[in-house]
C-alpha cells in the first residue's frame, strides 16, 4: 500500500482541507495520513472561526507519522502563520520526504484570509526550496509575484519568477480566469498547458486541495511529476463535472465519482 501525508487545516463541512485531501488520496488508491494545523468551523457558505493547533502538537503529529510509517509523498495546505510554516519546514528538513507538493493556501472562496501576511515570506523562504511542486491559483500567484496575472503571457512570466523562488516545478491554476480552465506547468525547462473546458457549476469547494492531494497521491504511486500532474488534472476535472449539490453555497467536488459509478453498475448487473 502506497502512502501520502497531508499537512493542512480541517474543514468541518468536509469539502476542502484535510477531509478533501484524504478523500482524494483514498479515491486514487493511496493510504492517506494527516497532520492537522488548524481547525476551521465552516460550511459551503462561510468560515465562521479558526483555531490554530499548538505548535508542539503539530510537530508531534509529523514525528509520530514519520517515525513509524513510510511516507511516499507529502501535500501541504493551510499553515496559517509563520510559526507553523517554520515547524513544518524544520520537520521536512529532518525527514527529507522524496516528494513535497505545496498548495500555498492564502484566501478562501469567501474571502477569509487563511495565511497571515507575515507568513508569506516564511512560506517562500522556508518551504518553497523544499517543494517538488507548488500549485498556486491566480490570486495566490498575484500575491506571490506582487502584480496582476491575467493573461497567458503574464502566466509564463509568473511561472519563471515562482520557479526562481526555489521550487522544482510550478503549476499555476487558471480557474479564476475567464474562458477555459487551463493550468500552466513549468519545470525550469519546458512549459506545458493542461487544458480543460470550463464546467458551469458553483460547486467547486476544495478543488485546489483535491488537485494537490491527487498529485501527491500519484507521485506516491511512482508517477513522474508531469504524469502526476496530468493524471490529477483529469481526476479533478471529473470530480468537478460531477460535483455535489450539497448545502446552499459552494458545494464540494465528487471525489469518489468513478467508484460510485462502478458500485452502482455492479448493483444493477
Tell me whether strands 100-102 and 74-76 are parallel, antiparallel or unpaired.
parallel
Are 205 and 15 in contact by the 8 Å Cβ rule? The answer is yes
| Distance from C-alpha of 75 to C-alpha of 103, rounded to nearest angstrom | 7
Are 253 and 244 in contact by the 8 Å Cβ rule? The answer is yes
Are 191 and 109 in contact by the 8 Å Cβ rule? The answer is no
Q: Which of 13, 77, 208, 251 is catalytic?
A: 208
Q: Which of 84, 204, 210, 253 is catalytic?
A: 204
Q: Name the DSSP letter for residue 80.
A: B
For this structure, is 208 an active site residue?
yes
Q: Which of 77, 159, 163, 209 is catalytic?
A: 209
Q: Which of 6, 37, 44, 207 is catalytic?
A: 207
For 269, other C-beta atoms within 10 Å of its C-beta total 4
For this structure, is 207 an active site residue?
yes
Q: Which of 163, 173, 210, 233 is catalytic?
A: 173
For this structure, is 188 an active site residue?
no
H helix intervals, the chain = 17-27, 55-66, 82-95, 120-122, 138-145, 152-163, 207-220, 225-241, 257-267
| Distance from C-alpha of 79 to C-alpha of 91, rounded to nearest angstrom | 14
Q: Which of 17, 32, 175, 206 is catalytic?
A: 206
Q: Give the largest Cα separation in the chain, rounded.
A: 57
For this structure, is 204 an active site residue?
yes
For this structure, is 241 an active site residue?
no
For this structure, is 2 an active site residue?
no
Task: For residue 216, give the C-alpha cell.
Answer: 501527491
Catalytic residues: 173, 204, 206-209
Amino acid at each position: 500500500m502506497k502512502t501520502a501525508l497531508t499537512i493542512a487545516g480541517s474543514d468541518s463541512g468536509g469539502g476542502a482541507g484535510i477531509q478533501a485531501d484524504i478523500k482524494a488520496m483514498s479515491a486514487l488508491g493511496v493510504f492517506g495520513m494527516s497532520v492537522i494545523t488548524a481547525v476551521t468551523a465552516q460550511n459551503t457558505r462561510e468560515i465562521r472561526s479558526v483555531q490554530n493547533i499548538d505548535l508542539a502538537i503539530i510537530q508531534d503529529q509529523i514525528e509520530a507519522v514519520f517515525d513509524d510509517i513510510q511516507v511516499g509523498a507529502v501535500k501541504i495546505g493551510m499553515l496559517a502563520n509563520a510559526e507553523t510554516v517554520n515547524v513544518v519546514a524544520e520537520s521536512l528538513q529532518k525527514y527529507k520526504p522524496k516528494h513535497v507538493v505545496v498548495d500555498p493556501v492564502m484566501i478562501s472562496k469567501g474571502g477569509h484570509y487563511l495565511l497571515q501576511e507575515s507568513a508569506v515570506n516564511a512560506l517562500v523562504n522556508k518551504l518553497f526550496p523544499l517543494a517538488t511542486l507548488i500549485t498556486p491559483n491566480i490570486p495566490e500567484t498575484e500575491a506571490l509575484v506582487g502584480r496582476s496575472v491575467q493573461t497567458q503571457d503574464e502566466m509564463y512570466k509568473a511561472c519563471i519568477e515562482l520557479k526562481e523562488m526555489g521550487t522544482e516545478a510550478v503549476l499555476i491554476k487558471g480557474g479564476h480566469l475567464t474562458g477555459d480552465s487551463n493550468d500552466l506547468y513549468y519545470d525550469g525547462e519546458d512549459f506545458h498547458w493542461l487544458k480543460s473546458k470550463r464546467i458551469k457549476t458553483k460547486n467547486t469547494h476544495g478543488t485546489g486541495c483535491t488537485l494537490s492531494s491527487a498529485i501527491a497521491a500519484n507521485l506516491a504511486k511512482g508517477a513522474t511529476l508531469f504524469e502526476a500532474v496530468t493524471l490529477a488534472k483529469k481526476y479533478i476535472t471529473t470530480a468537478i463535472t460531477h460535483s455535489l449539490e450539497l448545502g446552499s453555497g459552494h458545494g464540494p467536488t465528487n471525489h469518489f465519482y468513478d467508484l460510485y459509478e462502478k458500485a452502482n453498475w455492479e448493483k444493477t448487473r
